[in-house]
Structure 1
C-alpha cells in the first residue's frame, strides 16, 4: 500500500470537504415541482379538511329521527350535487337526494345510501327508507380530517404524491423546501466525443458525463452545468469558471488524474494545494481533491467503471444524506463462486444477486467493462488483506 491512501481515509476527507454543503438554504417551489423535495418547515393548512360537512355516499340526506322506525316513506324535496352553493335547509319529515361530496343541508344529520332505499309505490316523488340510520352516519364533518391551522405536513419530509395531494387539498400552491445541492460535471480527455457522434480514429463516446450527471440526479442533487474539455488546462479552467457562473457548489471531474502526460486536473489542482494521488482500491485508484477559486473539486479516474464507482463510494453518501435519502442498501451474502483479489487493495467487484440469494461476480475486475457494470446490481467488497475466497464465503455487498 506504499504511496496509496486507505479507502476509508479518503472517504473521510471527501466528507469533510463536502461538509459545508449540508446547511441548505430554502426556496419556494410550485406543487408541480415539489415531488421528491424535502420540506424545510412544518406546512400548515389554512383551511379545515374537509372544509364543510359533506356526504360520504350517494343517497338521501335525512334527519335520523325521521328514519328511526324504518322502513318509512319520505317525500323527496330536492337534490344536492357536489357543486358550489349552499343547499336549502332540510325540513322535518322529508329527504333530499344527495351526491357524494355534496354539502349536507342544515337540519340533516345522516345520509341513507342508495342501497338502503327503494322507490316508493306511491310515485317518483317519494323514497322508501328500508333501514334506520343513526345521527352522523355517512356524514363527513368539517375538520374531521384536519383542523384549520394544523400542520398537514412535518418538516424534513421527502415529498411523495400523497403529500402533494394533502397540500393541494389544503389549498396550497407552493411549498417551502430545502434547496438541492448544485453540481457541475466535467469530462476531460481529447479522445472524448458526444455520444452518437460518428467515431474517428482514437475517439470514444463520453460515457462519464452522462453517467455522473445521472448519478447526481439520482442522489437528489441538481446538475447546473455539464462540460467536456480536451486535455488543455486553460480550457479546463474556463469550464470551471463557467460552472461557477452557473451557480455550482461542487465540481465533479473525470479523467486527468493519473501520472502520465496530459493530466489536466492534476495540472490545475496541484499548484493551488490540491491532492492528486492513489487510493488503495480497485477499480478507481487515481483520485483527486481540491478547490478552484473556492469551489470544491472532486476528481475521478477517466475509466468509466472507476468514475461511476468512485462517485457511489465517495460522493453519493453525502449527497443522499443531505437530501434525506437512505444510504445505499448493504447486505452480507455468500459467494456463488470462488474468486481471487489483488493484495493490498480493497476490491469492488461487480456482481449480481442470484435467484438463490448468493453473490455472483459479473465480468472481470477491469475498469473499462461498462457492459458488465450495466449487468450488475451490487458491488462485492473484498478487503485489502484478502487474496482468495472460496464459494460459499460470506462477503459484504452494496446495492447499486
Structure 2
C-alpha cells in the first residue's frame, strides 16, 4: 500500500515544513476518490445533487418550428412580390388566412399572398418560415390583410427551429454536474422525471480541546464556546453533504481514538478542528499513526498554517476496518474557514462526484497598504466595493488575526496575496475572491 508520505514526496515543491498551498491542493486532489454508490431520485429531489450519468435528450427541444414573437407568419417568397409605394419604398401586402396559438396550430396551407396570425410559441404553419412582428405591420380593425415594409424583416427571421435549444440524442447535462434550478426545468422540458445521482457524501466532524464548551453550557474560567462546529456545519450544509456532528472531544488519547474510530466507521470524510499545532499534537500524531496514514504539514499560508491530512480506519491498524479521508484543521476560527475553503472544499466536491468549477477571482485596487511577507500565500479578509466607474476596490477589515471571527462576518471577500508577493502599496492591483457563492 502506497503511503501518503511516499506519494507526497513525488509532488513538486513538497516540503512538510513549508508546503505551498498549490502543492497541498495537488496532493489532496489525488486522494479524493468519488463515492461509488448511485441513487435514483425524483426530479424535485435532485436539486444540488451530483449527476452520476450523462443525460441524453430523448426529444428535440423545441419539438417543432415555432414563432419567436407575436406577429404574422408567411413564406419568405412573399418578400419577392412587393409593390412600390408613393414614397418609393417596397411594401408587402398579405391576406390573413387564419390564426395559430400556442397549442392550437393552423393546419391549412399558405401561399405567397397569404399570412397567418401567430402568437409566441405557436407552431409555424406549413409553408411559412418567416415572422414579421405585429408592431411593424399596418392593419385596420376590420381588415383581413396586413401591409409592411419589405425591409422590416429578413427571410427566415423570428422563427425558432425544432431542436434549436437541444437536439434529440445530444447530451443535455454531463455527469458530475451539481444540479441547479435551471437544470431541473431543462430536464422537465425533456419529459424526464427521475435521474441517477451520486450518494451524498458523509462527513463526520468534531472539535478538540478541554477549554471548549457547547452552547448552553456554563463558561468556566479560561473556557470558550465552540464556534468551529457551527461554521463547519454551515459550510458542509452549503455543499449538500450529510454532516454528522460528533461534538467536542477532550484532549485525551482514549476519547480521541474512540471519536476517530466512530467517525471512520460512519463517514467518508472526517474533519477535526484543533490539536494539530506544534507542541500540542504530539499524542495526536502518535495516535493517528497507529490506525491511520496521516501527514502533519505546516502550510505556507496565513491563516491556517498547521494541517493534518491523510486516511484513518475504524480498525486497530491501517487497512483494517472502514477507511475515511481525514483533515485535521487548525483550532483558530478563521483558520478553520480558510483551510476549509482553500484545501477541503474541492476535495469534498471531488468525492461527491462533482466536477469542481474554479472559484471566480476578480482584480481590485487596494485602498491602503497591506503588509505581506513573500514565501507564503495569504488570505486576508476584505471589504470590496465598486466605484462610480464600476471598478472594484478593496479594503482589509483591520486585524487579520486568525482568532478574530468577526472579521469574517464583516468581510465580503478574501484578498488573495500570492506565494511570491511581498508588501502591497495603496493603489496597487490585487486579486480578490468574493464570498458570494462561496461562503
Q: TM above 0.5, one fold?
A: yes
SS class of match (2:191): coil
1:1-400 matched pairs, under 5 angstroms: 5-8=16-19, 16=27, 19-25=30-36, 28=40, 30-32=42-44, 34=46, 41-63=53-75, 68-69=81-82, 71-72=92-93, 74=95, 76-77=97-98, 79-83=99-103, 86-90=105-109, 92=111, 95-120=115-140, 123=142, 126-131=144-149, 136-154=156-174, 163-176=183-196, 181-195=201-215, 197=216, 199-202=218-221, 203-216=223-236, 220=239, 222-231=241-250, 236-237=256-257, 239-240=259-260, 243-244=263-264, 246=266, 248-257=267-276, 265=284, 268-272=287-291, 279=298, 283-284=303-304, 286-289=306-309, 290-293=311-314, 294-319=323-348, 323-326=355-358, 329=361, 336-337=368-369, 339=371, 348=378, 350-352=380-382, 360=396, 362-365=398-401, 367-376=402-411, 377-378=413-414, 399=433
Moved more, 261-270 or 60-69: 261-270
C-alpha distance in 1 between matches for 2:217 and 2:377: 35
Contact 1:180 1:323 in 2 (8 A): no
The Cα of 1:251 is off from its aligned counterpart by 0.3
Tell me how many residue pairs correspond in the alignment: 385
Consecutive unaligned residues of structure 2, counting only runs of 5 or more, are 1-14, 83-90, 315-322, 386-391
Q: 1:382 and 1:37, CA in 2 relative to 1: closer, same or farther beyond 3 A? A: same
Question: Taking structure 2 as the reference length, what is the TM-score of the superposition?
Answer: 0.66
TM-score (norm 1): 0.71
Q: Structure 2: how far apart are the matches of 1:103 and 1:163?
A: 25
Contact 1:337 1:360 (8 Å CA) reproduced: no
* Secondary structure class of the residue paired with 2:203: strand
Aligned residue for 1:186, secondary structure, equals strand
Q: Deviations over 1:289-338 (max 9, x none)?
A: 45132223222232323333333444335446664221574989889447
C-alpha distance in 2, partners of 1:118/1:95? 14
3-state SS of paired residue (1:46): coil
Deviation string 1:262-292 (CA, Å, 9 cap, x unpaired) is 9985575244356586737665455434513
Question: How far apart are 1:211 and its partner, in Å?
Answer: 1.7
Q: Secondary structure at 2:228's aligned position in 1? A: helix
Structure 1 CA distance for aligned equivalents of residues 197 and 372 of structure 2: 48
